[in-house]
Structure 1
Amino acid sequence: MTITTLKAAVELRKVSRQYGAVTALDAVDLTIAPAAFTAIMGPSGSGKSTLLHCAAGLDRATGGDVIIDGVPLGGLSERDLTKLRRERVGFVFQSFNLIPALSAEQNVALPMRLAGRRPDPGQVKAMLAEVGLADRAKHRPSELSGGQQQRVAIARALVSRPAVLFADEPTGALDTKASRDVLRLLRLAVDRHVQTVVMVTHDPYAAAHADRVIFLADGRIADQTEGSVDAAEIAVRMTRLEERTGLEER
């Protein structure tokens, strides 16, 4: 792998993504600071999920460069890209993506097993305790609530201390209380463990937990905030963006 001087946790340089005649991302420049919580928002079809997938190495950009933890993705083979994702990237999805046949502790240990390492039982137990599930270690996903399953997914994503944690609508399938628990844990990961978190969300309340909010429209960055911004202000910006996008499409 070619290593560059580390200036950001994730960097996108003129990144584009085409799907046939559709431009999902249009020459996006974006730098994600280390040890910060960044939220990505935008109207439906704005390219926010495509941006996350390209930034995380789940999808290949058709133009430009993506760099994760100092490593350019463009020249990597599929094998090396898979290895980088396994070692340096954590994922949390709306649908949890836990293995039904495995217990909570086995799901948390899975990234270490896939990397060919013997799981550290103490580390796994500590992660489950941190997400408030020390007493659910032996339970399978079917025996856990949705919120508990998502907390297991967060523990699994963080157990290897990845360079970046990507979360795609992590509260989308949860009730209000469970959503708040998940957002608190993501915020705690940043503040206590200097974890870098990048989250796609449609929820202004969720985005208000971030240090920075990036707004996309038509595959481009249309607006952004820096520092603490409340949910009401984020909602106003989203409404304006949706109205502007709707007018441009007429």
Structure 2
Amino acid sequence: MNTTHAVDLIGVTKHYAHGVTALDDVTIGFGAGTFTAVMGPSGSGKSTLLQCAAGLDRPSAGRVVVDGRDLAALGDRKLTLLRRDRIGFVFQSFNLLPSLTAEQNVGLPLRLAGRRPDRELVRQSLAAVGLAERAGHRPAEMSGGQQQRVSIARALVTRPAVLFADEPTGALDANTSRDVLRLLRTLVDRQAQTIVMVTHDAVAASYADRVVFLADGRVFGELHEPTAELVATRMLQLEASC
């Protein structure tokens, strides 16, 4: 385990029913304050890697360490608390409650934790994603990109050690996607936020510091300082070899 890593997977294997091995002895670390994209063909194990790394699913073998905590050593309650306090999630679907304002949606994780939302903290989270002036608006009054920004603000309100994003631009058009990706890049550069993003989009991956490629549940190399062209070429090579 590397103490400069926000997340470490050590020999992680995940078996499912009918003999399916989604992850096969994966060892990989995600540096604190870095932006990593995870890519691979359909069925390569990238979503399973994200779920195991985020504590949403327990591996069949191996260890996952997040923010210095070995998840295997945590019972269900302590794991839930760690996910709530130290891990942020952003998904393709925004998962905002339509009856709540942006401010109320962002404060929801704090309220669910039994804490009264600190209005200033919530406003700071909205300001960090460029939506301070939209605090009183409901999801139906915002664009898709703005809704995704609210979901990112909600993920950031607990000041997580790591933000996991699963296809965060998958439901957005190209221009809006770029806005969201620039926001994620800014969070890393200005706030040293650790981000691990699963994506199928070479352009999205090019915003990361590093791209990790998976195939058949194993790591098949990585790319540093990626460009969209290099990522696309590597993906074509990977798909041809599978």
Q: TM-score, normalised by structure 1?
A: 0.94
| Residues 141-160 of structure 1 aligned to structure 2 (within 5 Å) | 141-160=139-158
The answer to whether the 8 Å contact 1:88/1:163 transfers is yes
Percent identical pairs in the alignment equals 63
Which 4+ residue blocks in structure 1 deviate beyond 6 angstroms? Answer: none
Query: 2:54 maps to what in 1?
Result: 56
CA contact (8 A) 2:103 2:123 kept: yes
Counterpart among 60, 74, 77 of residue 76 in structure 1: 74
Amino acid at match of 1:45: G
CA contact (8 A) 1:7 1:70 kept: no
Q: Is the contact made by 2:26 and 2:219 (CA closer than 8 Å) also made in structure 1?
A: yes
Q: Which of 162, 165, 168 is the matching residue for 2:166?
A: 168
Once the two structures are TM-superposed, the CA of residue 123 in structure 1 deviates from its matched residue by 1.7
Contact preservation (8 Å) 2:35, 2:194: yes
Match of 2:6 among 5, 9, 13: 9
Which residue pairs with 1:236 in the alignment?
233
20-29 vs 108-117, which deviates more? 108-117
Q: Which amino acid aligns with 2:169?
A: T
Q: For residue 114 of structure 1, report the CA deviation from its aligned partner.
A: 2.0
Whole-Å Cα distance in 2 between the matches of residues 133 and 70 of structure 1?
Answer: 32
Please list every run of 5 or more consecutive structure 2 residues that lacks an aligned counterpart in the other structure: none
Q: In structure 2, what is the Cα distance between the partners aligned to 1:177 and 1:152?
A: 17
Quick check: 2:92–2:169 contact (8 Å CA) kept in 1?
Answer: yes
Q: Tell me how far 1:5 sits from its aligned partner.
A: 8.1
Tell me what 1:207 maps to.
205
SS at match of 2:72: coil
C-alpha distance in 2, partners of 1:207/1:52?
15
Question: Alignment partner for residue 45 of structure 2, among 44, 47, 53?
Answer: 47
Letter in 1 for 2:42: S
Counterparts of 1:163 and 1:62, CA distance in 2: 24
Distance 2:132 2:85 in 1: 25
**Separation (CA, whole Å) in 2 of partners of 1:59 and 1:96:** 21
- AA aligned opposite 2:122: V
Give, in whole Å, the separation in 2 of the partners of 1:134 and 1:27: 44
Contact 1:25 1:51 in 2 (8 A): yes
Q: Give ranges in structure 1 of 5+ residues lacking alignment.
A: 246-250
Indicate the residue corresponding to 2:218 in structure 1: 220
Secondary structure of 2:73's partner?
Answer: coil
Rounded to whole Å, the distance in 1 between the matches of 2:58 and 2:65 is 12
Residue 189 in 1 paired to residue 187 in 2? yes
Q: Partners of 1:116 and 1:5 in 2: how far apart?
A: 33
1:6, 1:101 → 2: CA distance?
42
Contact 1:11 1:68 in 2 (8 A): yes
Question: RMSD value over aligned CA atoms?
Answer: 1.2
CA contact (8 A) 1:5 1:70 kept: no
